[in-house]
Amino acid sequence: MLRSPFIERTWLWYLNVASHGEEKKNAKHEQSRVVYPKDHKLGMRVPKGGSDCAKCEYVEGKDCTNTIFVKWNGSEVIPLPIDEYCCDMFEIKETK
């Protein structure tokens, strides 16, 4: 599966910050830096009708199979109704 360039940049940034505790100060990194609100979490409640777990390729029933989400959440169980929750690893299901 190919991820979009935006998602790849987001995850490279997130993993860098999570593993090093601070941002690198190079120009290329600054150009691709994603800025989130202070209350942002990797997974959180979202308004119905937008991007949500119900539309994600990693979701099977009420569980998420994305390994990064499982590690962060502590289990594969999505903590809210799947049409009211989304995480930063969201990838839309491919329609046939």
Domain ranges of the chain: 1-35, 38-96
Tens of pLDDT along 5-63? Answer: 566 666 666 666 555 554 445 545 556 677 878 888 889 998 887 778 888 999 999 99
pLDDT at residue 1 in the model: 47
Amino acid at 31: Q
Q: The pTM is what?
A: 0.60
CA dist list (Å): 8 to 50, 88, 92: 21, 11, 15
Burial 9-22 (b: 16+ CB within 10 A, else e): bbbebbeeeeeeee
Other beta carbons within 10 angstroms of residue 61's beta carbon come to 9
pLDDT at residue 42 in the model: 87
* Helix segments in the chain, DSSP class H: 5-20, 27-32, 67-73
